[in-house]
Every structure is written in C-alpha cells, then in structure tokens.
Amino acid sequence: MLAACAGGEDRDAAFTIDSGNDANQPFPNNYRTELLAFMKTYLNNPVGVHDAVMAEPVQRTVGGRLRYVSCLRFSARESDGTYRPPRERAILYVNGRLDRVAENAAELCAGAVYAPFPEMAKLTR
C-alpha cells in the first residue's frame, strides 16, 4: 500500500475535494500567487529556477469534468547546481483554487500559449 504513495514520474497530487460540480467553475483569480506558494514546497530547491513560462488558465475537460487548467514549464536547479531539462506541469483548479498538479501534462498542455513567468526565478526557501 505504501508503494502507491512513492509513485513515479506520472503521479498527480490533489489538494481539494472535488465535488464533481461542472457548472460555472469560477476563474482562479489568484492562480499566480497560489502557484508560487505551492512551488516553494513542491520543489526540493525552489531557488534559481530557470526558463519559467506559464500559460494562463483555460477551460479543459479533465476526467469528464470541465476545469480550469494552466500549464507551467521550468528548469529546476539540482542539488549539485546543474539544471534538469525543462519540466512541464498542468495545474488544475477546482472552484477557483489550485487543486492538483499533473506531472504528465502533454495532453492537457497541448497547444498552450506560454508567456514568461519571471516570478519563479525569484523564489526563496
């Protein structure tokens, strides 16, 4: 049972209870602030992130439900000071709040229009 918690690269992390409400999902007005706060805990080392770009939230169908999804691409700094190739993550919102991070974002982020997200480079521990 604990092996499921360890997960691999294809794991998702959910943070809210999704009631399944599809009607009138509100736009996540504080998505940038929430995402930055989350990334400070999500990354092993949030300092020195390079090449961060983000797409504004758009509505997509996820698991049969209409949700706002924003996409994020960045290169995180490793403990030895090197950088990994850019990672892409889909950030899903439920009821206007950050709900989960999908690490396997290729389908959800297909066609995303990215813009620079310099705030990530300024993260501290």
pLDDT per residue as tens digits for the range 60-90: 999 899 999 999 999 999 888 899 899 999 9
How far is residue 105's CA from residue 66's CA, in Å, rounded to a whole number? 16
pLDDT per residue as tens digits for the range 100-110: 999 999 999 99
Q: What is the pTM of this model?
A: 0.79
How far is residue 105's CA from residue 5's CA, in Å, rounded to a whole number? 20
